[in-house]
Amino acid sequence: MSCEKNFNSNSSRQSSSVVSAKVDTRPCPALVTSAAQPPNLSWTAPAKASTSARLSTEKARDKIRSAEKAHASESEIGSERVRLQYAQRRIDGVARSLDETVDLLDKRGYDSAPYRQFIIKSTGEITERILNPRILFGLIWDFIKDAWQTIKDNAPAVLIKVLIVLGFVVLFRVLFRLVWWTLRLSGAAKMSRLMRDMVDRLMKSVATICGFIGGLWFLGVDPTTLLAGLGVAGIIVGLALQDSLSNLAAGFFILSTRPYDVDDTVRAGGVLGTVKAMGLANTTVVTFDHRRLLVPNRKIWGEVIENRSAETIRRVEIEVRIAYSEDIDRAITILHDLLSKNERVLEKPEPPIFVSELDDSWVKIAVRPWVRNADWWPLLTELPRLVRIRFAEEGIEIPFPQTEITMRNKPGSVTTPSDGSAPAVD
C-alpha cells in the first residue's frame, strides 16, 4: 500500500468515541527499500487529512465556546469535546506518521529539510526541529513566496479598494473644510479664537476618521465591529491614561467657560505669561522673558485663573515717600499735576492719591492712576522715574531709612571726651 492510499484510508475512518479512534502510525513502506536517489513523494493525501483535522478542531472549539455561552446542556458540550479530542488525535497521528517516515529518510542519508517543512506547514505542529536553520529559513522563504503570490493575485482589487478609501478620506476632508469656512464666513460659528484654533486642528483628524469609515461602508465592510473595537480600546486606554483624560476634560471646561483667549496675559497654574495656543491636554504659555511653557489643563482648571487682559482699563499702583518735614498737600498737588500731563493716564476714573502709611522715617503716599490695558506696563516702569525727577525739581525730599541712637551713661561711669581732655566721672 502506498503512503497516499494509507492516509486516504485513515482520513476516511469514522468513530463515535475517543477510545475507538485509531490512526495508522506505521512508516510508509515505500521508503523501506529506497533507491539511490531521494524518493519523489506525493503527500497530498496526508496534507488533506491534517488540514481537515485542523478545521474540525477549530470548528469543535467554536461550537464549545458557543454552547458554553448559551448555557447548553452538559451532554451537548460533552459530545463536542469528544469530536475535538478525536480531531486532535487525527492531527497527532498524521504528524507522528509523517515524522517516522522522514526519520527513515534521515537514516538513509537523504536531505529531509523540505519534508520537515511540509510536516510543519501541513499539521501546524511546531517542534524543536524548527530550530534547524535550513527548516526555519525554508519556512520563512515559503511564507515570503506565498505572500508575494497573494499580493500578485489580489493586488489590482486591493489597490482599487485602497484608492476608494483614500478618495473618501480626501472627499470628507474637503467637505468638512468647506462647511467650516462657510460657518465662519457667515458668522454662524461665533466662538473664541482659542476654540476656533482648536477646531481647526481637530478638523483634519475627525474628517480622516469619518472618511475612512465611510470608505469601508461603501466597500460593503460593516464598520460596527470596528467601532465596537475602538470603543473597547478607548475604555482600556482611558483606564491607563486617567491623568490625560482629566486634562482633556479640563480642556473642554476651559473652552466652554472661556476664562481666557489667545494673546491674553494670564496667571494660571503657577505661570504668568501670554497664551499662545491650547490643545486637548495642555495650554501653551509664553512668559515675558520668552520661555515657552506647556501647562497641563487640569492644573489650570484646578487653580485660580487671573486674566489680566480681560478688561479694557487697568490701574497702576506705586508708593511715593516724602520726609516728615515736607508739606503733604503740596506733594499730593504735584503728583496730580504730574499725572494730568501724562498722555497714558486716563481722566476718568480720576486717579486717587492719598497718604497710605506713616512709617518710621517717611510718609508714604499711594498713587493709583488708571490707564488702558496696553499702557499698564509702560507707565508702571516709567512713573517712578518721573516722580523722582519732578520731586527733585520741586525740592521735595525723598528720605532714606534712618535710625537715631541716644547714648545715656550710668551713674559712676567714666566718660572720655573726644577733645582729649581729662575724663569726667558722672
Q: What is the DSSP string of 92-159?
A: HHHHHHHHHHHHHHHHTT---HHHHHHHHHHH----GGGGSHHHHHHHHHHHHHHHHHHHHHHHHHHH
What the block records as the C-alpha cell of 99 is 515524522
The answer to whether 164 and 218 have CB atoms below 8 angstroms apart is yes
Window from 12-21, 223-232, 246-255 with minimum mean pLDDT: 12-21
Q: Which of 171, 176, 163, 165 is nearest to 204 (CA)?
A: 176
Torsion angle in degrees (nearest 10) through CA of 153, 155, 157, 158: 130
Number of other residues whose CB lies within 10 A of the CB of residue 273: 21
pLDDT at residue 287, rounded to an integer: 92
Distance CA 208, CA 203 (A): 9
pLDDT at residue 239, rounded to an integer: 58
Distance CA 299, CA 250 (A): 9
What band does 16 get if pLDDT is binned at 50, 70 and 90? very low
Distance CA 426, CA 423 (A): 10
Q: What is the pLDDT of residues 132-151, one digit of tens each?
A: 777 777 778 777 877 778 77
CATH of domain 313-394: 3.30.70.100
pLDDT of 243 over the 80 cut: no
What band does 129 get if pLDDT is binned at 50, 70 and 90? low
Most confident of 4-8, 11-15, 108-112, 316-320: 316-320
Question: Higher-confidence residue: 252 or 229?
Answer: 252
Sequence-distant (6+) residues with CB within 8 A of 16 are none
Question: Higher-confidence residue: 322 or 61?
Answer: 322
What band does 418 get if pLDDT is binned at 50, 70 and 90? low
Peptide bond into 349 cis (omega under 30): yes
The answer to whether domain 245-307 has CATH 2.60.120.10 is: no
Residues in the chain: 426
Sequence-distant (6+) residues with CB within 8 A of 117 are 135, 138, 139, 142
Separation in Å, CA 9 to CA 13, 50, 282: 7, 13, 70
pLDDT at residue 280, rounded to an integer: 75
Instruction: Let me know if 292 is exposed, middle or buried by CB neighbors in 10 A (0-12, 13-18, 19+).
Output: exposed
Residue type, 85: Q
pLDDT at residue 181, rounded to an integer: 81
pLDDT of 35 over the 70 cut: no
Residue written as grid cell 522715574:
385
Share of the chain above pLDDT 70, in %: 68
pLDDT at residue 383, rounded to an integer: 93
pLDDT at residue 234, rounded to an integer: 65
pLDDT of 1 over the 50 cut: no
Most confident of 41-50, 167-176, 229-238, 251-260: 167-176
For residue 277, the SS3 value is: strand
Every domain of the chain and the residues it spans: 3-131, 245-307, 313-394
Q: Which residues of 200-214 are buried (b: 16+ CB within 10 A; e: fewer)?
A: eeeeeeebbebbbbb
Distance CA 155, CA 278 (A): 44
DSSP, res 373: G
336: enclosing H helix or E strand: helix 328-340
Q: H helices of 223-289, where? A: 223-240, 242-257
pLDDT at residue 100, rounded to an integer: 73
Distance CA 403, CA 168 (A): 84
What the block records as the C-alpha cell of 231 is 470603543
Torsion angle in degrees (nearest 10) through CA of 192, 195, 200, 202: -170
The mean pLDDT value for 381-410 works out to 84
pLDDT at residue 364, rounded to an integer: 93
Torsion angle in degrees (nearest 10) through CA of 190, 194, 200, 206: -90
pLDDT at residue 4, rounded to an integer: 40
Separation in Å, CA 367 to CA 26, 73, 327, 328, 363: 109, 91, 17, 13, 13
Using only C-alpha atoms, the chain has a radius of gyration, in whole angstroms, of 45
Q: What is the pLDDT of residues 349-393, one digit of tens each?
A: 889 999 999 988 899 999 999 999 889 999 999 999 999 999 999
The mean pLDDT value for 255-267 works out to 85
Rounded to the nearest integer, the mean pLDDT of the chain is 75
The mean pLDDT value for 185-192 works out to 66
